[in-house]
Amino acid sequence: MALNLKVTIDDNSGFCFGVVYAIEMAEDILEESGLLYCLGDIVHNDEEVDRLVKKGLVIIDYDQLQNLHNCKVLIRAHGEPSSTYKTALENNIELIDASCPVVLKLQNRIKNTYDKQDPVFIYGKHGHAEVIGLSAQTNNNAFIFENLEEIDMQNLPTRISLFSQTTKSTDSFYKIAEVLKKNGVEVNVNDTICRQVSNRDKDLRVFASRFDKIVFVSGKKSSNGKVLYNVCKETNPDTLFVSALTDINEEDYKFGETIGICGATSTPMWLMQEVKEKLSNF
C-alpha cells in the first residue's frame, strides 16, 4: 500500500551564494576545456562532487599542487592561505579564484588585527579549509578552538580579539563571548558569521516545526550541515540525516505523514528534489 506522504522542500535551503559562484565558475571552464583541477572538494557534498568529477573536475591536495605546472586550478569558496598563491606563481598555475567575498573580508580583518599585535582567537573547526586560511593570516599564531573546554581560562591574556569561522552558529559564538567576559577577559567581539548562513537558523526552526518528520540532506563533511541538522533536531526530534538516496528507507516513514526536506548551504537543490521524488514514490 502506498504511504501517501506529503513532501515539501524548503525553498530557503540549498547552496549559499559563495558555493553557487564557485560551481558556476567550475562548470563554465569544464564546458570549455573538459578539465579543471580543484584544490580540495569544491563543496562538502559527495554527490555534487561526483557530478562535477564526471564533467572533468579533478580534486587535488596540497602535495599534488606542488607538482602541477602550466594549468588551471580552482580555489573554492573556503579561501586559501598566501602560500597557495605563491606556489601557483612559481609553477605558472592560473588560479581560478572562487574564494567567497565574506571569507576574504574575514581574512583581511584577522590579518589587520594580528598586525596590531592583538591576540587572535578563532572559533572554528580544527583542520577545516577555511580555518587553515584564517590562521595563516596570523602566521598560524591564532588560537583555534571548537569549544570552551579547549581554552585555559586561568592563563588567558587580559584582552583578546574573538573571530569565528563564517559558518558557525551565531548563538554559540555570542555565548562563548559572554563566558570569556565573565572570566574577566576584555573581548573585542568580531561577528564574522555569514548572515546567509546564520539566518537559516531561524528560518529552519520555523520550517522544521511545520512537519511530522524532517529529512535533512547534507554531506557528512559539512560543518554547516552539522550545525543546521542540530537546529532541526532540537525543533523537531523526528529529524533524519540523509547524505545520499541510499540512506532513505521506506520503513522509517508512516502512512500520510507530512515530510519537510531541507539542507545545508552545501546541499544541491537537485539532490533534495531527488529525495522528494523517492519519498513521493513510497
* Residue 186 dihedral angles phi and psi, to the nearest 5°: -80, 115
In contact, 155 and 137? CB cutoff 8 Å: no
Q: Which three cell numbers stand for residue 221?
A: 563533511
201, with CB counted inside 10 A (0-12, 13-18, 19+), is middle
Instruction: Name residue 154's amino acid.
Output: Q
Count Cβ neighbours within 10 Å for each residue of 89-122 and write b for 16 or more, e otherwise. Answer: eeeebebbbbbbebbeebbebbbebbeeebbbbb
Query: Per the residue annotation, which of 48, 80, 130, 257 is the catalytic one?
Result: 130
In the residue annotation, 130 being an active-site residue is answered as yes
Ramachandran region of residue 256, left (φ > 0), alpha (ψ -120 to 50) or beta? left
Instruction: Give the three-state DSSP class for 73.
Output: strand
Closest listed residue to residue 259, CA positions, set 280, 245, 234, 242: 280
Q: Which three cell numbers stand for residue 263?
A: 539542507
Which residues are annotated as catalytic? 130
